[in-house]
Structures are given as structure tokens and as C-alpha cells.
Amino acid sequence: MSDEQKVADPGPLGLAGFAMTTFCLSSANANLWKGAGVTAAISLAFFYGGIAQLLAGMWEFLRKNTFGALAFSSYGAFWLSLYAFINWQKGSGPSLGVFLLGWTIFTLYMTVAANKTSGAVLAVFVLLSITFIFLTIGAWGGGHVNMTRIGGWTGFATAAAAWYASAAGVINDTHGRVVLPVGPRG
């Protein structure tokens, strides 16, 4: 039994946790439903976006997938640290801008690496880069509300792309054939 056969593909789990948490937070950033997505996002940030993604990252290490291991572990840590930033530090404004700037930089170089994965994963990273850029600008210097709203809308597109990649992973594996194409790249 090879190492890859010892652990099921954790990618769909990591992408689903990322997608749902991003969807809820993006609804708040886009100012939909009068901010109702914040509570959902923060709860998801700890458990589904945070812990589940972190576990997916650890399982990617077992599969010797450096990209998946770094991406899922890091974004799991992103959601956990965002939870702590909001709930324990009561962070906002310029502090949030610095926090998001770091994640923007990380996401940009992960986007370069994603160019060698699949079209679906690359789409997630391109959209996430755009989302982080708008959210960083929105948080910097007291907040540019329209930039945060644009970041919320691009976050919806990011969540949709991540859900598609997750669905493709689980549906294609379950059916034993390509039902949802992901566009091989590298």
C-alpha cells in the first residue's frame, strides 16, 4: 500500500471548510443580511475553517503534497488566528490591515505555486488574492468601506470556486471518473 492510499484525499475537506467560512465572512464584508454572517463566520473560523483545514493540511503532509500541506495548514491557522484576533484581541482598523497584508503576501506567492496544480485550484487562489487585496485596503487607515464590500463580493466568488474544487474532488473520486473537470495545469 502506497502512502497515498493510506489517507483519503483531504483536499475536498480543506476546500469545503475554507469555502463555507469564506462565504459567511464575505456576506458580512459585502454587508448582506445586515451583518448576519459574522457570527456564523466566527464560529466556522474556529471549527470548520480552522481545525478541519488544519487537519486536512496534516493529512496532505502524509500524502507528500507540499502545496496542499502548506495551503490547508496555513489557511486553517489563518481562520484560527482570525478567531483569536476578533474574540481575544478585539482587533480592528490598522491592526487588521497589517494582519491582512501578511496574508495577502502569502496568498500571492501561493498563487504562483497554484499555477502548477489545477485550473480549479488556481482560480481559488487568483480570486483569493484579489479578495485579500481589497480587504487589506479596506482595513487600512480606518477602513475604506467600499473596498471591504468589494472584498466581500470577490470573497463570494472565491468561496464558489473553492466549493466547486471541493465538489469536483469528492464527486470525481466517488464516481471513479471525471464528472466535474478541474482543468489540469502543471
Q: pLDDT tens-digit profile of 68-110?
A: 999 999 999 999 999 999 888 776 667 899 999 999 999 999 9
Print the domain residue range for 152. Answer: 8-169
Rg (CA), the chain: 16
Please compute the mean of the pLDDT values over residues 135-153 and round it to a whole number: 88
The residue-averaged pLDDT of 150-179 equals 97
Task: Tell me: pLDDT of 143 over 80.
Answer: no
Residue 149 within any structural domain of the chain: yes
Confidence of residue 112 (pLDDT cuts 50, 70, 90): very high
Number of domains in the chain: 1
CA dist 78 to 37, 100, 168, 186, Å?
A: 18, 10, 24, 27
Q: Is residue 186 part of a domain?
A: no
Examine residue 47 and state whether it is found in any structural domain, yes or no. yes
pLDDT the model gives residue 144: 83
Residues contacting 36, CB < 8 A, separation 6+: 27, 28
Give the model's pLDDT for residue 7: 81
Please indicate, yes or no, if residue 92 is contained in any of the structural domains: yes
Does some domain include residue 179?
A: no
Q: Considering the domain boundaries, does residue 165 fall inside one?
A: yes
Predicted TM-score (pTM) of the model is 0.93
Q: Is residue 175 part of a domain?
A: no
* 23 pLDDT more than 80: yes
- 30-57 pLDDT, tens per residue? 998 776 778 889 999 999 999 999 999 9
